Structure 1
């Protein structure tokens, strides 16, 4: 019989501790409902806006570089114009000299 009394006393103590824990949690929950947390985001907004401006600047810079690079590629030639003119003059002169030597 003493063991049964000890077990019931232990169960009663555990139930009381459990009820006390629930009451504490309810108090904490009520305090959380009453407490309102406000975030100050104006500082973050200014940081984000400055970052966006920097990203726009870098984007415009890269687009300008891409346009210049595309123009350079489109204007690129295998041989410069002066080299082509000199080559044509040399070929015409050589053909003229060879034909002059054979016809003379």
Structure 2
């Protein structure tokens, strides 16, 4: 009988410990549910606004660079104008001199 009494006492102690654990968990759960966490976003908002300003400035600079680059590409020529004029004059002079030699 003593073993049965010991087992019963052990079971009663375990059940009491389990009930205490459940009560503690319920208290913790109530504290978690009652606690509201609020975040202060004002600092982050100012940082994000500053970043947006910097990004818009950077975007404007990139668009300006792109416009200047596109204008340079449109104005770009393979040969300078004076070289083309000299080449055409040389061709004309050569054709005229060859035609004069042939006609003489």
TM-score computed with the length of structure 1 as normaliser: 0.84
Q: For 1:1-104, what aligned pairs fall within 5 Å after superposition?
A: 1-104=1-104
Q: Relative to structure 2, which stretch is displaced further, 51-60 or 25-34?
A: 25-34
Deviation at 1:10, TM superposition (A): 2.6
Q: Relative to structure 2, which stretch is displaced further, 62-71 or 89-98?
A: 62-71
State the number of aligned residues: 104
In structure 2, do the counterparts of structure 1 residues 82 and 7 end up closer, same or farther at CA, with 3 Å as the change threshold?
A: farther
Deviation at 1:25, TM superposition (A): 1.4
Deviation at 1:82, TM superposition (A): 1.6
Structure 2: runs of 5+ lacking an equivalent:
none
Q: Relative to structure 2, which stretch is displaced further, 27-36 or 82-91?
A: 27-36
Could you say what the CA RMSD is over the residues aligned between the two structures, in angstroms?
A: 1.8
CA distance in 2, matches of 1:74, 1:12: 93
4+ residue segments displaced more than 6 Å: none
1:40 is paired with a residue whose SS is coil
Deviation at 1:30, TM superposition (A): 2.0
